[in-house]
Chains A and B, each alone.
Chain A
Amino acid sequence: MIEFQNISKAYDDGTLALQNVNFNVPKGEFCVLLGHSGAGKSTLLNLVSGLTFATSGNVQIDGKILTERSLKSLRKNVSMIHQNFNLALRSSVATNVMSGALSEVPFLQAITGWFPKSIRNKCCDLVAMVGLEQEHLHRRAYTLSGGQQQRVGIARSLILDPLIILADEPIASLDPIISRETLSILRNLAKIKGCTVLCSLHQVELAKDYADRIIGIEEGQVVFDLLPSEVDQQTLNLIYKNYDDPRGNEVWDQAKIKNVVKSLGHNKW
């Protein structure tokens, strides 16, 4: 469904974001990208959504090469879920969801906010599907909690029946339970509706629980491409330096705390 062929991407300021990325995501797969911040995950997603273009190499969607020309026809198959939800906070939930269909609505209807009946019905459908109530439809987006806002974001991304869903750290600001709920929605989309989901994450454990496949990215290169069951501490060391370093898990005892207090006492501050 999505094929990255020898992708390299250099930004204008000279930073090399991606180097010779080659992989293929088949239809209906929930594929997770792991890697520390700045490794190139977001760049990879932006390449698919057409927000940036590769310096060399091709992105193929459904067998068609993504160029500035073909972008318009390919884009309606691709939708994106964002880390900060990126909703228009003062608009209603319904308007937010329907704004996902703006590119397909005639201009005059779009500018007046008079969406076609089919889209309005679909909006109600989707809001129910992601687990919100009818009373939420007319609430302003900022009155919802973070988890609910992300659900609105997901509903918005689904309104045009996309084949590909890109999720850029969709659970970065959500609590553990809502994170799991959000990920299971994404997984169901892949399994039941047959969408191809490409999702970047930071939570290794969640990725292992929900993904079909985990791709590790470091310094703009793919360093591993494994099934979730095959991912272990050693492989994670490739993307997160010292992942098995116990310092992060360190537990302090009384003596150690005393030591710290003493060393702080010497300080002028």
Chain B
Amino acid sequence: MIKLHRKRFKKPTKDYFLDPNRKEVAWELAPPFGIKSVLILVILSIVLTFSGKKVEVDKMLFMVSEAAVALVGLKDDSQVLDGAHKLISSMLPLQFSETREISRIENFDPEQIPRFTRIIEREISRSVVDPNTLQVSKSVSVTTELYHPFGYLIYVCKKMLETIEIAIWATLFALVISIPLAYFSASNYSPNKISYVVSRATVSFFRAVPELISAMFLVLAFGFGPIAGIMALAIHSAGFLGKFFAEDVENADKGAQRALEAIGVSKLLILRYAVLPQVLPQYVAYSLYILDRNIRMATVIGIVGAGGIGQELKGRYDMFEYGHVATILLMIFITVFILDQISSKIRKRIM
């Protein structure tokens, strides 16, 4: 079968592999887990039990299962289902139309009303108390209104566009801030120890402040509107991008860097020629993710008055106009879904 014996050779002095009298070694491989791991698991489950009691996990589980049972029809009433039912019925139908009192529109010309709109008249009955007789009387007044069938939808779209613009500008500012921050907070490129520590601390601080909270304070400083939103988002995402970029620079393959180092190229140029080409796809992917995240967050920070659709949402919610709220929510969902698709397409093309 195998005939390989061709060459005469000296017998080796010692052949560990073939030695029949070879002693068995006293090595041992420990089992993958033992009593210690079990103990840790037991302690962990005890801690979780106490913690769950505290944050009412048991109640949550009970209510959810009750709702599930009620949904199947085995039980008549469930608090959760009732709430959900009330909410959904108040949200429907979605509010797309918009009516405006004509008397409040400046320079209204009844000959030239905008497209799709029509003038309607509505009777509003009010109970009025006569201050002299203290008698309640009903008075009916007729107001003429301009009715637009998609007026509110268009308004929400405009607000959504503003939200997206806030997110894009915030991402741009974050990129501009984070690239120098990343340079200073990459341990192998930072000019000195102090700049490293300072920029690392800055990055951590930026990341530590949640957008919603910094937006609250920025609204106080800059007033209601998109400025506060842009700044809040930019600061927070600059913290994220700075950290990611710096770690990418630190972990980049050292080969090309060494090659340029050996011929005496300055650090900035090494970064440009040996590090940047390597990390660029990662950078783009991170930036897209941050943009994606900023769009979602931009819808939220409006709640504290920092512009965008969140401001509208908060206003309508406080006035119990759930039809409007439902329209906004639907719009947010559609936008995020579409942008998700677009960014994943872009990411695929780059990678």
Contacts and interface: CB of A to CB of B under 8 A. Distances in A.
Interface stretch (B65-73, B99-107, B202-210, B267-275): B267-275
B7 A51 contact: no
Contact of B269 (A49, A110, A249): A110
B264 A260 contact: no
Nearest to B4: A251
B241 to A, nearest CB: 20
A257 B2 contact: yes
A112 to B, nearest CB: 9
B20 to A, nearest CB: 6
A78 B286 CA distance: 39
Contacts of A86: 255-256, 258-259
B348 interface: no
Nearest to B281: A90
Contacts of B9: 246, 249-251
Given A84-B255, A88-B273, A90-B277, A103 B264 contact: yes
A252 B255 contact: no
Interface residues of B, number: 36
A247 to B, nearest CB: 5
Contacts of A89: 253, 256, 277-278
B121 interface: no
SS class, residues of chain B in contact with chain A: loop
Interface stretch (B10-18, B43-51, B189-197, B324-332): B10-18
Contact of B256 (A87, A249, A251): A87
Nearest to A153: B259
Contacts of A134: none
Nearest to B17: A260
A251 B273 contact: no
Given A102-B269, A260-B17, A253 B277 contact: no
29 contacts: A49-B262, A71-B264, A76-B263, A82-B255, A84-B255, A85-B255, A87-B256, A89-B253, A89-B256, A89-B277, A91-B277, A95-B273, A102-B263, A102-B265, A102-B269, A102-B273, A103-B264, A107-B269, A110-B269, A111-B272, A246-B10, A247-B12, A247-B15, A249-B9, A253-B3, A259-B18, A260-B17, A263-B18, A263-B22
B273 A253 contact: no
A83 to B, nearest CB: 9
B319 interface: no
Interface in B299-331: none
A100 B263 contact: yes
**Chain A, interface size: which category?**
35 or more
Contact of A88 (B1, B264, B266, B274): B274
A102 to B, nearest CB: 4
B280 interface: yes
A103 B265 contact: yes
B271 to A, nearest CB: 10
Interface in A146-190: 153, 156, 160
B262 A80 contact: yes
Contact of B277 (A88, A111, A251): A88
A111 B6 contact: no
B229 to A, nearest CB: 34
Interface string A51-94: 10000000000000000000110011011101011111111000
Contacts of A90: 277-278, 280-281
A247 B17 CA distance: 12
Interface in A198-240: none
A192 B7 CA distance: 43
A79 B260 CA distance: 10
A82 B259 contact: yes
A121 interface: no
A99 interface: yes
Contacts of B278: 88-90
A50 interface: yes
A102 B274 CA distance: 12
A70 to B, nearest CB: 12
A137 B120 CA distance: 72
Given A110-B269, A254-B2, A260-B17, A103 B261 contact: no
A207 B268 CA distance: 38
10 A-B pairs with least C-beta separation: A86-B255, A86-B259, A253-B5, A246-B9, A90-B277, A88-B256, A75-B264, A91-B277, A102-B265, A80-B262
